[in-house]
Amino acid sequence: MERNRRPHRILLIDDNKHGLRARRIILEDLGYEVAIVESGEEGVERFREALDDKPFSLVVTDYRMPGICGDEVVRQIRALAPGQPVVILSGYTEVLALAPESTGADAVLAKGSREQFDLADTVRDLVAGGDRPRAKPPASETVSSSGKAVPRPRRANARR
pLDDT digits (tens, 9 = 90+) for 139-149: 444 444 444 44
φ and ψ of 37, to 5 deg: -140, 155
pLDDT tens digits, one per residue of 58-82? 999 999 999 999 999 999 999 999 9
Q: What is the pLDDT of residue 97?
A: 79
Q: Work out the average pLDDT over 37-61.
A: 96
The answer for residues whose C-beta is within 8 angstroms of residue 46's C-beta and 6 or more apart is 11, 35, 37
> Per-residue confidence at 157, pLDDT binned at 50, 70, 90?
very low
Question: What is the widest separation between alpha-carbon atoms in the chain?
Answer: 58
φ and ψ of 148, to 5 deg: -90, 145
* Higher pLDDT among residues 24 and 95, named by residue: 24
Q: Is the pLDDT of residue 128 over 70?
A: yes
Average predicted confidence (pLDDT) for the chain: 81
Q: Is the pLDDT of residue 8 over 50?
A: yes
Q: Work out the average pLDDT over 5-16.
A: 90
What's the full length of the chain, in residues? 160
Give me the residue spans of the domains in the chain: 9-151
What residue type is 82 in one-letter code? Answer: P
- Protein fold of 9-151: Rossmann fold (3.40.50)
